[in-house]
Amino acid sequence: MSAHEERKKLQERLQLERRNLPVFQAKSQILEAVEKNQFLVLVGETGSGKTTQIPQFLHHSRLYTNVISQDKAQHRSARHDKRMMIAVVQPRRVAAINVANRVSQEMGCTVGSYVGYSVRFEEKYRMGTTAIKYLTGGMLLREAQLDPMLSDYSIVILDEAHERTAQFDILLGLLKSIASLRPLKLIVMSATIEAEKFAHYLNNCDIFFVGGRQHPVTTFYSVLPQTDIIDATVTTILQLHVDKPAPSLLHEESKTRRSGDIIAFLTGQEEIEEAIFEITSRAKERMIRIESDSHVEGDELATVPLAHSDDISLSLELLPLYAALPFDRQQRVFEVSSDLHTRRVIICTNIAEASVTVPGVSYVVDCGFSKMKYYIPGSSIEVLQAKPISKDSALQRAGRAGREGPGECFRLYPETEFSKLTQHTIPEIVRVSLTSLFLTMKSIGIEDIYSFDFIDMPSLSSLEKAESSLLSLGALERPPPSKKASLMNPVHPITTVTSPLGQAMSILPIEPHYALSVVVSPLFDCQSEILDIVAMLCSENLFVVKHGKESSDDQDHEQGYAAFSSERLKKQFDFDQNKNEGSQDGSDHLLLQRIYQAYTSSASRSVKWCRVRGLNKRSLDRAVRIREQLARYSLQVDKIVHSETTTDQSPEIHSLKHETAKEKRAKPSPDTSFWSPLPSEFVNVTTPSSERILKCLLCGLYMNTATLIPGKKNEYQTSSSSMPISIHPSSSLAAAALEKEKMMKREQFKERQASRKGVDYSSPFLLNMGSVYPEALMFSELVATKKLYLRTCSGINPEWVDIVRTINLSDCLREFSHH
Ligand code: CDP
Ligand code: MG
The pLDDT tens digits of the residues spanning 439-480 come to 999 999 998 899 999 999 999 988 998 998 888 888 998 877
Taking only the tens place, the pLDDT of each residue in 133-192 is 999 999 999 999 989 999 999 999 999 998 889 999 999 999 999 999 999 999 999 876
Taking only the tens place, the pLDDT of each residue in 366-385 is 999 999 888 776 666 778 88
Cβ–ligand 1 distance for 402 under 6 Å, the answer: no
Each residue of 414-434: b (16+ CB within 10 Å) or e? Answer: beebbeebeeebebbbbbbbb
- Shortest-distance atom of ligand 1 to CA 53: 8
Cβ–ligand 1 distance for 396 under 6 Å, the answer: no
Residue 569: the pLDDT is: 72
Residue 615: the pLDDT is: 87
- pLDDT category, 652, cuts 50, 70, 90? very low
CA-proximal residue: ligand 1, atom 10 (nearest): 49
Residue 560: the pLDDT is: 42
DSSP notation for 725-786: EEE-TTSHHHHHHHHHHHHHHHHHHHHHHHHHTT-----HHHHT---SS-SEEEEEEEEESS
265 against 511, higher pLDDT: 265
426 C-alpha to ligand 1 centroid (Å): 26
In terms of Cα–Cα distance, which of 375, 362, 404 is closest to 218? 362
Cβ–ligand 1 distance for 47 under 6 Å, the answer: yes
601 against 562, higher pLDDT: 601
In terms of Cα–Cα distance, which of 212, 213, 250, 239 is closest to 410? 239
Residue 604: half-sphere exposure toward Cβ, Cα within 13 Å: 7
CA angle 463, 469, 470 (to 5 degrees): 90
> Please, which residues bridge with residue 361 across strands?
261
Least confident of 137-146, 559-568, 797-806: 559-568
Residue 138: half-sphere exposure toward Cβ, Cα within 13 Å: 18
Cβ–ligand 1 distance for 52 under 6 Å, the answer: yes
Residue 782: the pLDDT is: 86
pLDDT at 597 over 90: yes
Ligand nearest to the CA of 91: 2
Distance from first CA to last CA of the chain, Å, rounded?
A: 69
Residue 72: the pLDDT is: 54
Residue 252: the pLDDT is: 54
How much is the average pLDDT of 50-73? 75
CB 276 within 8 A of CB 291: no
796 residue type, one letter = I
Taking only the tens place, the pLDDT of each residue in 85-94 is 999 999 988 8
CA distances in angstroms from 705 to 136, 386, 697, 766, 798, listed in the order given: 31, 23, 11, 27, 9
336 against 744, higher pLDDT: 744
CA angle 802, 805, 809 (to 5 degrees): 135
The continuous run of DSSP H or E covering 804 comes out as helix 798-806
- d(C-alpha 393, C-alpha 24), whole Å: 26
Cβ–ligand 1 distance for 24 under 6 Å, the answer: no
Least confident of 7-11, 206-210, 265-269, 668-672: 668-672
Our mutation pick for probing the ligand 1 site, out of 102, 190, 209, 210, counting the most ligand atoms within 8 A of Cβ, is 102
CA angle 17, 352, 287 (to 5 degrees): 95
Residues 6+ apart with CB under 8 A from 662: none
Q: What percent of the chain has pLDDT over 90?
A: 43
Residue 323: the pLDDT is: 81
- pLDDT category, 631, cuts 50, 70, 90? very high
Q: Do the bridges between strand 342-348 and strand 261-265 make them parallel or antiparallel, or are there none, so unpaired?
A: parallel
Ligand nearest to the CA of 45: 1
- Shortest-distance atom of ligand 1 to CA 334: 21
Between helices 689-701 and 588-601, what is the axis angle to 10°?
Answer: 120
Residue 62: the pLDDT is: 63
Cβ–ligand 1 distance for 350 under 6 Å, the answer: no
354 C-alpha to ligand 2 centroid (Å): 7
Cβ–ligand 1 distance for 774 under 6 Å, the answer: no
- d(C-alpha 442, C-alpha 242), whole Å: 57
Cβ–ligand 1 distance for 46 under 6 Å, the answer: yes
Our mutation pick for probing the ligand 1 site, out of 357, 361, 396, counting the most ligand atoms within 8 A of Cβ, is 357
Among left, alpha and beta (phi > 0; psi -120 to 50; other), residue 762 is: beta
pLDDT at 689 over 80: yes
- pLDDT category, 558, cuts 50, 70, 90? very low
CA distances in angstroms from 144 to 109, 133, 138, listed in the order given: 28, 15, 10
Q: State the Cα torsion 46-355-65-118 to the nearest 10°.
A: -170
- d(C-alpha 543, C-alpha 528), whole Å: 22
- pLDDT category, 75, cuts 50, 70, 90? low
Cβ–ligand 1 distance for 357 under 6 Å, the answer: yes
Residue 275: the pLDDT is: 94
Least confident of 41-50, 305-314, 791-800: 305-314
235 C-alpha to ligand 2 centroid (Å): 31
What average pLDDT does the structure give for the chain?
83
- Largest Cα–Cα separation, the chain: 99
667 residue type, one letter = K
Q: Please give the backbone phi and psi of residue 637, each rounded to the nearest 5 degrees, phi first.
A: -55, -45
How much is the average pLDDT of 590-609? 90
Least confident of 157-171, 243-257, 391-405, 482-496: 482-496
> Please, which residues bridge with residue 795 across strands?
777
103 C-alpha to ligand 2 centroid (Å): 12
Among left, alpha and beta (phi > 0; psi -120 to 50; other), residue 487 is: alpha
How much is the average pLDDT of 719-741? 84
Least confident of 254-263, 307-316, 643-652: 643-652
How much is the average pLDDT of 344-349? 94
134 C-alpha to ligand 2 centroid (Å): 12
Residue 416: the pLDDT is: 95
CA distances in angstroms from 506 to 494, 518, 649, 699, 772, listed in the order given: 19, 11, 11, 16, 39
pLDDT at 98 over 60: yes
- pLDDT category, 71, cuts 50, 70, 90? low
213 C-alpha to ligand 1 centroid (Å): 13
CA-proximal residue: ligand 1, atom 18 (nearest): 357
How much is the average pLDDT of 659-680? 59
Residue 418: the pLDDT is: 96
Residue 3: the pLDDT is: 86
CA distances in angstroms from 233 to 226, 272, 307, 310, 802, listed in the order given: 10, 10, 21, 26, 48
